[in-house]
Structure 1
Amino acid sequence: MNRKYNQNLANDFIFVSWDQRNCGKSQTDTTVVLTPGLYVEDAHVVTQFLKKQYHRNKIFVVGHSWGSLIGVNLVQKYPQDYAAYIGMGQLVNPGKSEMLARNHVVQQATLRKDTATLAALAKIPFSEAGGYPNGLAGLSQFRMVSDKYLASSEVAELPNPMTLYPDYKALDWMTPVLRTYKLLSSYMDGGKTNLLKQNTFQLPVYLLVGKYDYTTSAELAQQYFTAIKAPKKKMFLFEHSGHQPSWEEPALFRTRLLQIAAANKTN
């Protein structure tokens, strides 16, 4: 999707999109246990390669959704390697965010008298403290039932990415989704992850927030922004976006990245 909606960024930046370990076109290694910590170290290896390859002292990192959890931990551990952190669809507290998403879906389904969705939700137990009792299966079921209420009208009109790029097969798309869901579901248990407790940064921080993001709560992202302590910080609200501002408002996304780059010049 970045190729379709953000291709012009290649005119402004050396724009690198990373397929995480065992995802997309990255080589599969079934001998390792996938953890957020492993992804952080992988991302740092990629960073060192890019710095050397393109003769840069620092690079910018954009973390989206699940990637924003990796991104925060990455730049907090290795701040010297990054000019700024840019969080989009920022994940803050997975358990609380999921509860807010469920509340939103129930509210919208009730307003629309959508008894089928309400009945389906009743069969998918969840608690903020305990997460999904059946882990990955519960999270996957909720997403299947609720996506029509979580996606903004703009993202609902976007084409299926599997139809756009013949070099990526269906398995290339589905494998990262399922692996991310599996990891994410394990972090919805008792507030294991709460970035409000990780609010100190040694580099500039920018949050790009879709006003209608219920997948990773826009409300929590704004709370996180308020709590962040950084040399400088700024939040950009995308008024017509949900969880995918870079696809839903690509021109504004490009403008914001150019502004961030201009404010944090690096070689």
Structure 2
Amino acid sequence: MSYARKFQSQLEKNFVVVNWDQRGSGKSYAFNIDDNTMTQKQLEKDTVALIDYLCHRFNKEKVYVVGHSWGTVLGIETIQSVPEKVIAYVGIGQVVDDIDGERLSYEYVLQKATEEQNEKALTELEELGEPPYKDSRKDTFVQRKWLKKYGGFEIEVITVNEIIKGSLLSPEYSWIDGIKFLLGNLYSIDTLFMNREKADFRKKYTTFEVPVYFCAGRYDYNTPSTLIEEYYHMIKAPRKEFYWFEESAHEPHLVEKEKFSDIMLEIHDETIK
């Protein structure tokens, strides 16, 4: 939440925007967290608990659920488990299939490195081999390093820089919270992401009871947008829409924040009777 606020001032003119540092991250990190609670199932329960809290606090029956990247996994699971509590779902950089997505991401950077004749990149990528990787954590970091270089992850907005600045300057965070962010990031990778189940929503969920909207960056190869578009055409929902962000990779809501705000207003007008 320390950096998200910078990009949502337009949204806040029309919505109550809630950013969540999930269990084991940021302000929700603590030294005494039970490692056994760092599971996808527990975070799905946490998501529903947060929705219940917000509905009670603001005297609402439903909320909009917006997920980005890993948050889209929780988002899809949430709208399946408690559709009665959700007005609509917006997936940004939607996870579709972890295995196919990683393969496409690897092929993208390998192609870029080949075109550029980048011997260092080619050597490191060929050492990794095609996914699934032998050392999931280490090898993924190497691949993402080159993905960032070749524009398949970040364009304009450098997330790490924004998080550091946010941790130092935002009113929600103290310098201690900044340290907790760094510790929680490593902790979450080791306990949650290395052990979570691999998603393939094309096989798991294709029918939804709530409106579904996907926002995809044209250059996103972290969660490849080609898979998101494919999944969009497969799903059935009361209402659905797909939005391309032509100047973005994996963070379209940050890079093209005005467009994202306008889209949320459109969704509001479509879904609130």
Map Cα deviations across residues 93-118 of structure 1 (whole Å, 9 max, x no partner): 01110110111101111111111111
Q: Secondary structure at the match of 1:32?
A: helix
Q: Distance in 2 between matches of 1:13 and 1:173?
A: 29
TM-aligned CA deviation for residue 156 of structure 1: 5.0
Query: Superposition RMSD on alpha carbons, in Å?
Result: 2.1
Give the Å deviation of 1:182. Answer: 6.1
1:175-229 superposed Cα distances (whole Å, 9 cap, x missing partner): 33662476445468xxx42101211100100001111111001000000100111
Q: What is residue 219 of structure 1 aligned with on the other side? A: 226
User: Are 2:65 and 2:90, in contact at CA under 8 Å, matched by a contact in 1?
Assistant: yes
Aligned to 1:194: 200
Letter in structure 1 aligned against 2:162: N
Identify the residue that residue 147 of structure 2 maps to in structure 1: 146
Aligned with residue 237 of structure 2, among 230, 235, 238: 230
- How far is the alpha carbon of 1:133 from its aligned partner? 1.9
1:212 counterpart letter in structure 2? Y
Deviations 1:153-176 (A, max 9, x none): 433599432123322414404633
Compared CA separation, residues 100 and 37, structure 1 to 2 (3 A): same
- Offset from partner CA, 1:5-45 (integer Å, 9 cap, x none): 11232221110001110111014313434221111110000
Could you tell me which of 122, 134, 138 is aligned with 2:126? 122
Query: Helix, strand or coil for the counterpart of 2:214?
Result: strand
Q: Does 1:71 align with 2:78?
A: no
CA contact (8 A) 1:117 1:146 kept: no
2:10 aligned counterpart, secondary structure: helix
Asked if 1 retains the 8 angstrom alpha-carbon contact of 2:104 and 2:224, the reply is yes
What is the 5 A alignment of 1:1-267? 1-28=3-30, 29-127=33-131, 131-149=132-150, 150-155=152-157, 159-166=161-168, 167=174, 168-173=177-182, 175-176=184-185, 179-180=188-189, 183-186=192-195, 192-197=198-203, 198-265=205-272
Distance (Å, rounded) in 1 between the aligned partners of 2:124 and 2:20: 35
Secondary structure of 2:108 counterpart: helix
Q: Which amino acid in 2 is paired with 1:258?
A: L
Letter in 2 for 1:175: G
Unaligned runs of 5+ in 1: none
**CA gap 1:154/1:6 in 2 versus in 1, 3 angstroms:** same
Give me the identity figure in percent. Answer: 29
Looking at secondary structure, tell me which structure has more helix per residue. 2
After superposition, the Cα gap between the structure-2 partners of 1:31 and 1:118, relative to the gap in structure 1 and judged at 3 Å, is closer
Distance in structure 1 (CA, Å) of the matches to 2:130 and 2:161: 31
| Counterparts of 1:81 and 1:157, CA distance in 2 | 31
Structure 2 residue matching 1:123: 3-state secondary structure = helix
Task: Provide closer, same or farther for how the CA distance between residues 240 and 225 of structure 1 changes in structure 2, counting only shifts above 3 A.
Answer: same
Opposite residue 167 of structure 2, the aligned amino acid is Y
> TM-score with structure 2 length normalisation?
0.88
Per-residue deviation, residues 65-99 of structure 1 (Å, max 9, x unmatched)? 00001100011111000000100000000111011
Distance 1:199 1:181 in 2: 31
Q: State the Cα distance separating 1:58 from its structure 2 match.
A: 0.5
The two structures have a TM-score, normalised by structure 1, of 0.90
SS at match of 2:66: strand
CA contact (8 A) 2:29 2:181 kept: no
Is the 1:68–1:87 contact (alpha carbons within 8 Å) kept by the matching residues of 2? yes
Which residue identity does 2:14 align to in structure 1? D
